[in-house]
């Protein structure tokens, strides 16, 4: 997150997505939100843990994203887990729908952020990892860590 663009403020990331899925493609989507939801997001409150997206009837919808109610929102607050419309071009929606239907991919939210004052969602077209894929990644990471450790000890000792 150190390489963020100017004017971009990250609200939430879905770190679990990179562990459970191979990310094939990424798309930036806008979100259709209510005023109290935006105020809650500006306070940095949101969760992408259980969220996923689906293409239905020519629209892209986000399910399971939790935006807690805004404290001062009283009657204007909406259901924290309601489905939210993703704002994409028709061509992008068609491509995402094609990927999910024909290739068995999943739409997974990766990151929620503000860019130039607008709430945006980085959506990933992802393929699920098998258990052995996850083990392989962990073994590779451990091997790289051990190699770095031995190299740094060699440099310090020499």
Q: Which among 118, 133, 110 has a CA at the least distance from the CA of 53?
A: 110
CATH 3.40.50.460 for domain 9-129: no
How many degrees, rounded to 5, is the angle at CA 134 between CA 108 and CA 86?
5
| Per-residue pLDDT tens digits for 55-103 | 988 899 999 888 888 777 677 777 677 888 899 999 998 888 888 888 8
Taking only the tens place, the pLDDT of each residue in 23-66 is 888 999 999 888 888 888 888 888 888 888 889 888 999 998 88
Record the pTM: 0.71
Strands 106-115 and 118-128: what pairing? antiparallel
């Amino acid at each position: 997150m150190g390489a963020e663009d100017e004017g971009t403020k990250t609200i939430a990331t879905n770190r679990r997505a990179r562990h459970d899925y191979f990310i094939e493609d990424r798309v930036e989507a806008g979100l259709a939100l209510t005023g109290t939801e935006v105020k809650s997001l500006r306070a940095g409150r949101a969760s992408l843990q259980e969220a996923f997206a689906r293409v239905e009837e020519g629209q892209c919808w986000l399910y399971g994203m939790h935006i807690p109610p805004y404290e001062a929102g009283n009657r204007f607050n909406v259901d924290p887990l309601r489905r939210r419309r993703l704002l994409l071009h028709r061509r992008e929606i068609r491509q995402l729908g094609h990927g999910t239907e024909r290739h068995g991919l999943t739409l997974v939210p990766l990151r929620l952020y503000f860019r130039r004052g607008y709430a945006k969602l980085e959506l990933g077209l992802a393929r699920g990892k098998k258990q052995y894929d996850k083990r392989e990644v962990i073994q590779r990471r451990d091997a790289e860590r051990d190699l770095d450790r031995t190299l740094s000890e060699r440099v310090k000792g020499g």
